[in-house]
Amino acid sequence: MIDILKNRILKGIVTRQIEPELAQEIEAVGAELRSLIQQRFGRSLHLREVDTGSCAACESEIIAANNPIYDLQRFGINFTASPRHADALLVTGPVSKNMLAALKKTYAAMPEPKFVVTCGDCALDGGSFKDSYYVEGGVKKILPVVLHIPGCPPSPLVIIKTLLAFLVA
Amino acid sequence: MDIPTVIARIRNNFPEFSELASAQNYADELNIKVSPQDFKHTCLALHKILPSPVMMLFAQDERAGEGIFRINSVFVDFKNKEWVMVSMDIPPENPCFDSLAKSIYSASLFEREIWEMFGVEPKGHPDLRRLRLHDEVWPKGNYPLRKDFQKVEPGDLSDYKFSRVEGEGIFEVPVGPVHAGIIGPGHFRFSVAGEPIISLETRLGFSHRGVEKIFEGKSCLEAVRISECVSGDASFAHSLAFTQAAEKIFGIQIPAAAAYSRAIFLELERMYNHVNDLGGIALDAGFSFPAAYASVIKEVILQLNARLSGSRYLRKINAIGGISIGLDETKKQMLLSSLKELKRDFKELVKILYSSVSFMDRIDTTGVLRKKTAEDLGVTGLVARASGIPTDLRKYFPGVYKEAKFRMAIQESGDVLARLRVRIFEFEESCRLIEEFSGKLIKGEEIKVNAELKGGSALGYTEGWRGPVLYWLKTDTRGLVTRCKIVDPSFLNWQGLSYAVLGNIIPDFPLCNKSFDLSYSGNDL
């Protein structure tokens, strides 16, 4: 316990310490985002993530967006364990044939109103794998996608910024 | 061991053995060609005398040129620092061979893979269910890795049959492929009697993207980029194994500075993943402070990666013949000063974990994978080392690790705690290795790539953070990839997880799973 307290006090709030320029940017983006989300989604926006065959780098970056440095949650964006609680679906991967049914079912399980966001180059059109025999090649052929977050993988900052730009528009 | 010695030893074990051809193509690779009648017993003999699990077993479709299917089986000989590959040719009219699965368990999954991808049947295999081409969506009779496969022909679909545990009070708990957390897709079917798990069947393949087919026809330069997307958290290990295979074929010697830089990046990849897993294990035990602490350390390493190479996941670094970015003096100083801070923070993290009695109690004796089970399954890498099997390519094929006096982590108990301890040891060892290597970086050495493109085949291998990443590559005369077989350590280690969880309760499954932390995409390809 003493180690936890010691580190808690010594480390302080890491959210802005790692890279000062970066932290300012995150803050500015985030403050705007928070007020928007409060207006439009009744205080918080809940996302459900579905991996349709990504290489796990996108997942790693989405998780990183939730770490204490970027701390997406403080702006009112949460990741939920169930599609039943989700406002939006965040899809990664080029949609492997094996994941097609699961993706559709997850979308169907979400309550209205709902929207779909894709994350990473694979999810846009299949990326490196678009010519494969086992890939549907992009989420937009299957579900109505309203926003794409580009990158291979998109960095946490890009994820936060792209979400903001979309919610502002 | 040279070829005559190997053959003499095989003959000791299997007197009727006669080889059709044999060659030592590279200093670390022996190739022995045998007839289909001798293949099984030759493999059994090698399995016994080396001793080695089947590290790779894969098919090639050579019907267009030679009119045959070729099956290759790769064993590792740690003592003599080499790989032994046994091959046989199979006529295409009746494509089948005697299954090894009943004698060598580690061959089982590879044979199922050959069956579904090439339609070459391992006769006598006890379980020929498909791994990746799910029966619900992929019609029977379509073999995508055959060269003449164009597009999928309509055919029968069917359902996957889970092995069933029946009896009074047995419940089945299906989980996945979409999970509660932000992770890859996989399906877990638990059978429980009360609390304890009595059987776990893992159904994977949800991330199957047809990676091996995508490689075919690509130039090696393009293919390096694809290898980085095979398993995103092991991008560097995968691209390194691929480039090593290509460099062997093209006969390229990489400059010393590139070898040290590669080792530095490989260790950085190990570090961010190991610390991520320490946090993950803590999180799955409900201990959130160290989990957050670990995620900060991981982020610091990712940002360090980005400053060193421009990529958080160490992509676009490896090139055929060296690396595309150099580590100059400023970068070196940045690396060393970051390491100092990382080491300090990591020590605190370990202290927090070790000083929590409830956390230690939770992970001690949880998810035990016994040494015998691990050996029988052919489990590799980190998981094997935690179960007392001394296996690490950095030790047996050291290269630059030799002068750095690499120390291998090893634990005996095979539980979550042992896997945690291996990670802690390896993180600290990686820090030390990077310091050693960065002292040897020679200033101003240019990396020149003048590869002469040619045909050939070779095995590339490296010890990624999960374990050995193996690439067997074959190119044509223009240097284009004609076959690329990838084995991620996850492929064999997923089996280990099914045994480690037996007798544990379902709430401990995430803990066991995280302590293995296997790749979905690397397994599913």
A133:B180 CB<8 A? no
**pLDDT the model gives residue A114:** 86
Cα B251 to Cα B43: distance, rounded to the nearest angstrom:
29
**pLDDT the model gives residue A15:** 62
Catalogue all structural domains in chain B, each as residue range(s) with its CATH number. 3-123 (3.30.460.80), 211-489 (1.10.645.10)
Helix (H, G, I), strand (E, B) or coil at B432: helix
**pLDDT the model gives residue A18:** 46
- Give contacts of B149 with chain A, Cβ < 8 Å: 133
pLDDT tens for each residue of B312-338: 999 888 888 888 887 888 888 889 999
Cα B467 to Cα B141: distance, rounded to the nearest angstrom:
34
Q: Determine how β-strand B21-26 pairs with β-strand B29-33.
A: antiparallel
pLDDT tens for each residue of B7-42: 888 888 888 888 888 888 888 888 999 998 888 988
Structurally, how many domains does chain A consist of?
Answer: 1
Q: Which residue on chain B is closest to A49 by alpha carbon?
A: B182
- Domain with residue A106: its CATH number is 3.40.50.12280
pLDDT tens for each residue of A41-80: 777 788 999 999 888 899 999 999 888 888 888 777 889 9
A75 touches chain B (CB under 8 A): no
- Give contacts of A49 with chain B, Cβ < 8 Å: 182
Cα B386 to Cα A50: distance, rounded to the nearest angstrom:
32
Q: What is the mean pLDDT of the segment spanning A82-89?
A: 90
Helix (H, G, I), strand (E, B) or coil at B407: coil
Cα B317 to Cα A16: distance, rounded to the nearest angstrom:
29
- pLDDT exceeds 80 at position A158: yes
Centre a 10 Å sphere on the Cβ of residue A14 and count the other Cβ atoms it contains: 18
Q: How confident is the model at residue A126 (pLDDT cuts 50, 70, 90)?
A: confident
Q: DSSP assignment, residue B30?
A: E
CA distances from B464 to A53, B5, B86, B169, B319 (A): 21, 31, 25, 43, 18
A97 sits in the region (left: phi over 0; alpha: psi -120 to 50; else beta) called alpha
Q: How far B490 CA sits from the closest chain A CA (Å)? A: 13
User: Could you give the ipTM of this predicted complex?
Assistant: 0.89
**pLDDT the model gives residue B450:** 61
Cα B80 to Cα B69: distance, rounded to the nearest angstrom:
30
Q: How confident is the model at residue B400 (pLDDT cuts 50, 70, 90)?
A: confident
Which of B210, B231, B296 lies closest to A135 in CB terms? B210
- Give contacts of B221 with chain A, Cβ < 8 Å: none
Sole residue written with tokens 């980190």: B382
* Per-position DSSP letters for B197-265, written without gaps between them: EEEEEEE--TT---HHHHHTT-BHHHHHHHHTTTSGGGHHHHHHHHHHHHHHHHTPPPPHHHHHHHHHH
Share of chain A above pLDDT 90, in %: 25
B503 sits in the region (left: phi over 0; alpha: psi -120 to 50; else beta) called left
**pLDDT the model gives residue B432:** 92
Q: What is the mean pLDDT of the segment spanning A118-140?
A: 88
- Give contacts of A134 with chain B, Cβ < 8 Å: 133, 138, 144, 208-210
Cα B421 to Cα B407: distance, rounded to the nearest angstrom:
14
Q: What is the mean pLDDT of the segment spanning B240-245?
A: 92
A19:B303 CB<8 A? yes
Phi and psi at residue B71, in whole multiples of 5°? -110, 130
Cα B190 to Cα B165: distance, rounded to the nearest angstrom:
10
* Per-position DSSP letters for B71-98, written without gaps between them: EEEEEEETTTTEEEEEEEEE-TTS-EEE
Q: What's the length of chain A?
A: 169
CA distances from B407 to B241, B276, B383, B516 (A): 22, 22, 17, 21
Cα B380 to Cα B393: distance, rounded to the nearest angstrom:
10
Amino acid at B42: T
Q: Which of A70-74, B96-100, B256-260, B280-284 has the lowest mean pLDDT?
A: A70-74
**pLDDT the model gives residue B243:** 92
Q: How far A83 CA sits from the closest chain B CA (Å)? A: 9
Cα B114 to Cα B455: distance, rounded to the nearest angstrom:
24
By residue range, what is the domain housing residue A97? 2-168
A128:B226 CB<8 A? yes
**pLDDT the model gives residue A19:** 54
Q: What's the length of chain B?
A: 525
Q: How confident is the model at residue B264 (pLDDT cuts 50, 70, 90)?
A: very high
**pLDDT the model gives residue B321:** 82
- pLDDT exceeds 70 at position A8: yes
CB B289 within 8 A of CB B352: yes
Closest CA to B238 of B524, B466, B470: B470
What is chain B's mean pLDDT, rounded? 89
Is pLDDT larger for residue A165 or for residue A144?
A144
Q: How far B24 CA sits from the closest chain A CA (Å)? A: 35
Element containing residue B389 per DSSP (H, E): none
A129:B133 CB<8 A? no
- pLDDT exceeds 80 at position B449: no
**pLDDT the model gives residue B238:** 93
For testing contact with chain A, the best of B207, B235, B269, B345 (most A CBs within 10 A): B207
Q: Which residues pair with B313 in a beta bridge?
A: none
Q: Which residues pair with B84 in a beta bridge?
A: B30, B75
- Give contacts of B232 with chain A, Cβ < 8 Å: 54-60, 153
- pLDDT exceeds 50 at position A149: yes
